[in-house]
Amino acid sequence: MELKELKNLFPDWEEGLYEEVLEAANFHTATAGTTLLKPGQNIRSSMLVVSGTIKLYREDATDGEFFMYYLEPGEACAVTLVCDFHQETSQVLAKAVTDIAYLAIPLSKVDEWLRKYKSWHYFVIRTYRSRYEELLQTIHSIAFKKMDERLEQYLLRQVGRWGTHIKLTHQEIAADLNTSREVISRLLKKMEHDGLILLHRQSIEWVGRKG
Amino acid sequence: MELKELKNLFPDWEEGLYEEVLEAANFHTATAGTTLLKPGQNIRSSMLVVSGTIKLYREDATDGEFFMYYLEPGEACAVTLVCDFHQETSQVLAKAVTDIAYLAIPLSKVDEWLRKYKSWHYFVIRTYRSRYEELLQTIHSIAFKKMDERLEQYLLRQVGRWGTHIKLTHQEIAADLNTSREVISRLLKKMEHDGLILLHRQSIEWVGRKG
DNA sequence: TCTAATCTGTAACAAATGTCACCGGCGAAG
DNA sequence: CTTCGCCGGTGACATTTGTTACAGATTAGA
């Protein structure tokens, strides 16, 4: 992990901070599909994503899991950043969507830098704030939108993230939107009928709105 | 506002912080029903609740408003605490539910103390974190629970907050749960039938589960 | 007192979503 | 090649929630 690369990923930090991070952090890699964080697990370090994409779920014993958000390069996991304030074991599941690389920061350092580096402090707050906004957004969708709108929004985000060729099964989409596979199949079929998408096996192609 | 009272409300702060807060803060009061924060309004100060209860809504131009949470004495509004990092005007509506008293802290001080007082920093983070947890909880309810369960949960929280005599109209409850009055009436009637509550005019009495 | 507004109850219906049953197609493992 | 499991499609139906339309009851105010 090079200094230059780090500065690129996190452009808003102060000078001394980069060096400290490089020194204190452990560089890790993992292959697609790996579970990075299990619910109930004690969190000892925080994650800064270097490359790849991570998916975060909220786990619940009774009702299953709930998709929270993606983590991308240059972002940090808000949950692990502040989870030690009460020694809590956050009920979160993190999975690598692609092959990934990340820096693991010991929580003691996270804490130490808060006082030492203003930019780190802001980074933490900003991370939290943006996640908060995202959650509000999600709530808004669930509370006010119907499934067809949510699905379209979901697909559009996938397109923005990985291009017009969406490699997801109906099952996976249904899981992310907390509904059943049949409902998704139904709505996708309708969207195909409306010329928004093309349905292939294991994948969907976004062709957008005509006119 | 006395030092002793302040220490009581916010027991986890450092010594010098109390004095600074007393000096920098403006003490305000407002009567029940007052709108304390309008969406789009520029936020110049953060609120620390001294007495009474405040209700926070997320405002949206197209789909109306969404009830977020209550603010109680000893708590701070997470939204106003960090809203200036990008000069944003958060889309939030705050209303006094009861007569209230609060301290208004200039945002410059909020920022200054972050670096000066570790306990203040933790206070801010903790505030954010607990709101985050609460949002997750809310999402969970909306995503997984049906209306009857949500209603029961809602009523139970009211009971915990203000006692078994719930002074709310069906209309108000419906607004908080983003549904229609008729649905609430229907479900309440069923709950009465099941012996959970007694319905009066303008109010509901919680009698709990038998056995 | 009379009137208007608000609150609650309810029936009937519409729409959205969840569930069940079953089918055929495809691909991986043997 | 055959079998098995996952993927997608689809129809029928149940359930939940939203909507419309009213009616009676209570309260506030003129």
Reading chain B (211 residues) residue by residue, the pLDDT tens digits are 789 999 999 999 999 999 999 999 999 999 999 999 888 888 888 999 999 999 999 988 788 889 999 999 999 998 888 766 556 667 889 999 999 999 999 988 998 998 889 899 889 888 988 898 899 999 999 999 999 999 999 999 999 999 999 999 999 999 999 999 999 999 999 999 999 999 999 999 999 876 5
Residue owning tokens 């009637």? B189
- Cβ of B140 within 8 Å of Cβ of A178? The answer is no
In this prediction, residue B177 carries a pLDDT of 97
* Same domain for A169 and A152: yes
Q: Answer with the one of A96, A119, A143 that is the final residue of a domain.
A: A143
Mutate to test the interface with A, among B139, B144, B145, B146 (most CBs of A within 10 A): B139
Residue A115 lies in a domain: yes
* Same domain for B50 and B123: yes
A82 to chain B: which residues are within 8 Å by CB?
A: 125, 128-129
* Same domain for B164 and B61: no
The H or E element that residue A189 is part of is helix A181-193
What's the pLDDT tens digit per position in A38-52?
Answer: 888 888 889 999 999
* Same domain for A166 and A119: no
In this prediction, residue B91 carries a pLDDT of 81
Q: Answer with the one of B120, B143, B166 that is the final residue of a domain.
A: B143
- Measure the CA dihedral A100/A102/A107/A111, to 10°: -130
Residue A211 lies in a domain: no
Domain with B152 in it: what CATH number? Answer: 1.10.10.10
Domain count, chain A: 2
* Same domain for A122 and A24: yes
Residue B24 lies in a domain: yes
A121 to chain B: which residues are within 8 Å by CB?
A: 114-115, 121
In this prediction, residue A23 carries a pLDDT of 95
Cβ proximity of A92 and A54 under 8 Å: no
A197: β partners: A206
A186 touches strand D (CB under 7 A): yes
In this prediction, residue A208 carries a pLDDT of 81
In this prediction, residue A43 carries a pLDDT of 81
What's the pLDDT tens digit per position in A60-86?
Answer: 878 888 999 999 999 999 888 876 655
Instruction: Name the nucleotide nearest A180; use CA and C1'.
Output: C18
B128 to chain A: which residues are within 8 Å by CB?
A: 82, 125, 128-129, 132
How many Cα atoms are found within 13 Å in the side-chain-facing hemisphere of A56? 20
Write the residue in A122, A131, A139 that is nearest to B66 by C-beta.
A139
Query: Which residues lie closer than 8 Å to B14 by C-beta, 6 or more apart?
Result: B117, B118, B119, B120
Whether chain B has a CB inside 8 Å of the CB on A180: the answer is no
Write the residue in A66, A78, A128 that is nearest to B139 by C-beta.
A66
A119: buried, middle or exposed (CB in 10 Å: 19+, 13-18, 0-12)? Answer: middle
In this prediction, residue B205 carries a pLDDT of 97
Maximum separation of any 2 CA atoms in chain B, in Å = 58
A188 touches strand D (CB under 7 A): yes
In this prediction, residue A20 carries a pLDDT of 97
The whole domain housing B174 covers: 146-206
In this prediction, residue B74 carries a pLDDT of 96
Q: Can you give the pTM of this predicted structure?
A: 0.90
* Whole-number Å distance between alpha carbons of B145 and B143: 6
Domain with B69 in it: what CATH number? Answer: 2.60.120.10
For chain A (211 residues), the mean pLDDT of every run of 10, in chain order, is: 92 96 95 89 89 92 87 92 66 91 93 88 87 91 96 96 95 97 98 96 88 50
- Cβ of B140 within 8 Å of Cβ of A115? The answer is no
* Whole-number Å distance between alpha carbons of B64 and B196: 31
Sheet with B64-71: strands ordered across: B35-37, B92-96, B54-60, B64-71
- Cβ of A58 within 8 Å of Cβ of B142? The answer is no
Write the residue in B60, B85, B135 that is nearest to A122 by C-beta.
B85
* Same domain for B193 and B177: yes
Residue B211 lies in a domain: no
Instruction: Name the nucleotide nearest B149; use CA and C1'.
Output: D16
